[in-house]
Amino acid sequence: MAQPTSSPIRATTQDFLGIEDIADDILILQDGSAALLVETTAVNFGLLSEDEQDALIYAYASLLNSLSFPLQIVILSKRMDISSYIELITQVEETQVDVILKERLRRYKEFILSIVKENRVLEKRFYIVISFSSLELGVKGAFGKKKKLPFSKDYILSRAKTSLLPKRDHLLRQLNRFGLRGRQLTTQELVEIFYNLYNPTMTGEKLGEISGYGKPLVEGLGRIT
């Protein structure tokens, strides 16, 4: 049986994230690569007519054929907290003087509660990740255990922007062709996404403005246990 070690465990969340920093709306990873995230809307395909479905399929095929770089599609599902919505319905019901409307509000509230009881109400958010490989910097092979950036952070960020921003613009134009709206996530939103992934709550946490942080952004996340 292995004996417990007397050395303190110093590993942090940051060691597992692989993120060196988040700056200028771009993720900088510890191996020198980088990425940006585009949040996009969705289409309820099943509610479209057959002609609309065909048009959407052709537009999506056109998007795929136009790409000269890899993409990663990420879908985050989170259980929604509708307690505030139920409370609002209750308040309207209590102040309603029309008997018929009051009864309809009561039935509607019971209907919503029955849905929540039988099924989880999920909020889905859709993201597209565009990446910048450290190979584009001329980096070859693996680094040592210390995980030190191969170049300065400013240099990596400059090279990453040159590569990522034209790809982002191309993707946004293609998404707009079939009725989807996309936008690049800001530094603030990126920090909040990773914070909430590792600190899940029902509603998610809104963090203070990251401009007021005195230390590297991910170092703050690294102390989360």
Q: What confidence score (pLDDT) does residue 214 get?
A: 52
Residue 157 has pLDDT above 60, yes or no: yes
Which among 145, 83, 165 is positioned nearest to 116, based on CA atoms? 83
Q: What confidence score (pLDDT) does residue 224 get?
A: 43
pLDDT tens-digit profile of 41-83? 988 888 889 999 998 899 889 999 999 999 999 998 877 777 8
Residue 206 in domain: yes
Residue 57 in domain: yes
Q: How many domains does the chain have?
A: 2
Residues 47 and 130 in one domain: yes
Which among 36, 45, 67, 39 is positioned nearest to 178, based on CA atoms? 45
Which among 32, 216, 60 is positioned nearest to 131, based on CA atoms? 32
- Both structure tokens of 39: 């949040």
Q: What confidence score (pLDDT) does residue 81 get?
A: 73
Q: What confidence score (pLDDT) does residue 171 get?
A: 95
Q: Using CA atoms, how far apart are residues 73 and 182, in angstroms rounded to an integer?
A: 13
Q: Using CA atoms, how far apart are residues 154 and 177, in angstroms rounded to an integer?
A: 35
pLDDT tens-digit profile of 93-115? 889 888 899 899 999 988 888 87
Residues 69 and 99 in one domain: no
User: How confident is residue 147, by pLDDT bands cut at 50, 70 and 90?
Assistant: low
Name the residue with higher pLDDT: 131 or 201: 131
Q: What confidence score (pLDDT) does residue 18 get?
A: 84
User: How confident is residue 1, by pLDDT bands cut at 50, 70 and 90?
Assistant: low
Q: What confidence score (pLDDT) does residue 77 get?
A: 83
CA terminus-to-terminus distance, the chain: 28
Q: Domain boundary at 68, 99, 120, which?
A: 120
Residues 86 and 162 in one domain: no
pLDDT tens-digit profile of 167-222? 999 999 999 988 899 999 999 999 988 888 887 775 566 676 766 555 554 544 54
Q: Which domain holds residue 156?
A: 16-78+123-218
Residues 103 and 35 in one domain: no
Residue 28 has pLDDT above 90, yes or no: yes
- The pTM of this model reads 0.73
Residues 92 and 51 in one domain: no
